Structure 1
Amino acid sequence: MIRPARNADEAAIRDCARQAYGGYVPLIGREPAPMSADYAAQIAAGEVFVAEDGGFLGFIVYRMAPDHLLLENVAVLPRASGRGIGKALIAACEDAARTAGLPVRLYTNAKMTANLSLYPRLGYTETGRVSEDGFDRVYFEKQP
């Protein structure tokens, strides 16, 4: 089940981000942005959604912009990986974008090489590479 996050979910969301992204610290040379995100503010803004099935499994952060939906972050607990939870969270985001008639845009770190092959398999097209906030980011887009 995917539902909007509640304030009580913040600790589980933060822990999930640490578990999911912690392995990238040596590759990137610092914590990836999702490890220091302001999840309390994102929850309050209605931008965070949680996957659960008898307990917390993962989350996604996305928000509407005037001309697209930005998928900012998706993370699944390592113990729950390989069960399609990440794909289900992304599909929920894509459904929201389709309902709004907007494309989904996202970015990932260039050193997260698994993502660079995952997103094209999910129908996303690379649209650019930039250095922002000290991170080398690769941008993708998927039309509704």
Structure 2
Amino acid sequence: MNDEIRLATAADVPRVREVTDAAYRPYIERIGLVPVPMEADHAANVAAGRVFVTGDPVAGVLVLVPEPDHLFLDSVSVHPDVKGTGLGRRLLHYVDDHARALKLPEIRLYTNAMMWENQQIYPRYGYELVERRVEGAYDRFHYRKVLAPESGGGAGRG
């Protein structure tokens, strides 16, 4: 599989939709609703430069939204065919790198309360639970990760 994580193009939209749907479809029965990422306007997100992909064919998808004071991780999707290969970990590390490149001090995300796997995963990657909030039909856990400033190798203090 191609390891490069790159900005998605219009040609990637069908596969972005396919990977997202495959990743989130199992949750429909559990939460009783279609997960929000499945209803996203993938073409608009790609056109806005918010979607990053990896694999050939695409097997991992990130939707990242820069805000003035943080990077919002809107969605992370790994195709079930490559689950357990470390792709999700690589994607989460990329989110950190991307936020730092944008000079944003933290990353925020939320996950449905019924997606309990995520409640185990995100804290392992430095995310802290901020709050649980019901928003319409969705019961969500909100997380944030404050990024440590990079230690620069600048000039000495002579």
- Amino acid aligned to 1:104: I
Shift of 1:86: 1.2
Shift of 1:114: 0.3
For 2:134, which of 131, 136, 140 is the aligned residue? 131
Shift of 1:96: 1.3
> Could you tell me the percent identity over the aligned residues?
41
- Amino acid aligned to 2:95: C
Greater radius of gyration (CA): 2
Shift of 1:30: 1.3
1:64-103 aligned at under 5 Å gives the runs: 64-99=66-101, 100-103=103-106
Q: Which runs of 5 or more residues in structure 1 are unaligned?
A: none
Give the aligned partner of residue 26 of structure 1.
Answer: 29
Give 4+ residue runs of structure 1 displaced > 3 Å after superposition.
none
Shift of 1:61: 0.3
For 1:56, which of 39, 48, 58 is the aligned residue? 58
CA RMSD in angstroms, aligned pairs only: 1.0
Give the aligned partner of residue 150 of structure 2.
Answer: none
Give the aligned partner of residue 8 of structure 1.
Answer: 11
TM-score, with structure 1 as normaliser? 0.95
More helix by share: 1
TM-score, with structure 2 as normaliser? 0.87
- Amino acid aligned to 1:94: D
- Amino acid aligned to 1:32: P
Alpha-carbon distance in structure 2 between the residues aligned to 1:115 and 1:71: 13
